Amino acid sequence: MLRPGGNLLLTTPNAAYLLNRLRALRGQSIATPLPDWIGGVPHARHAREYTFAEMRALLEYAGLEPVSMVSRHFYLDSGRSGRGAVLAKRGLSFLAERRPTLGPSIIAVARRPA
């Protein structure tokens, strides 16, 4: 429930993330790895990831007005910490700030009309 004039902030992985595009070009899957599903860990990743266009369409379908949609890399200071990994993550975050549709996460703000 969101009151009229209220704001919604949400994040979700970006299905069209640059690394997902590269995986698809190499013939690899961008979906949850099969061992996660077969091994009984279906919550290990999202069941469905969205593109920027799909997120906008879903927000509008729900009667919300998209206010802002950006992308960032949330794990700059966690996860892999080797020099190459840190540089790669910072590079992806820099790219996401300039070309949001290539970033790893979608950060959306939407408003319910008054």
Residue 26: CB atoms within 10 Å: 7
Res. 44 pLDDT band, cuts 50 70 90:
low
Res. 70 pLDDT band, cuts 50 70 90:
very high
User: For the residues 28-38, what does the mean pLDDT come to?
Assistant: 75
Which structural domain, as residue segments, surrounds residue 83?
7-17+49-111
Judge whether 93 lies within some domain: yes
pLDDT of residue 55 exceeding 80, the answer is yes
User: For the residues 34-50, what does the mean pLDDT come to?
Assistant: 69
Judge whether 43 lies within some domain: no
Q: Which residue do the tokens 């020099």 mark?
A: 83
Measuring CA to CA, which residue among 89, 51, 86, 84 is closest to residue 73?
89
**Count of domains for the chain:** 1
- The mean of the pLDDT values for the chain is 87
- 41 vs 6: which has the higher pLDDT: 6
pLDDT of residue 39 exceeding 80, the answer is no
Judge whether 33 lies within some domain: no
Judge whether 81 lies within some domain: yes
Report d(CA 98, CA 13) in Å as an integer: 17
User: For the residues 29-43, what does the mean pLDDT come to?
Assistant: 70
Judge whether 23 lies within some domain: no
Judge whether 85 lies within some domain: yes
Report pLDDT for 16. 92
Report pLDDT for 37. 67
Judge whether 39 lies within some domain: no
Judge whether 97 lies within some domain: yes
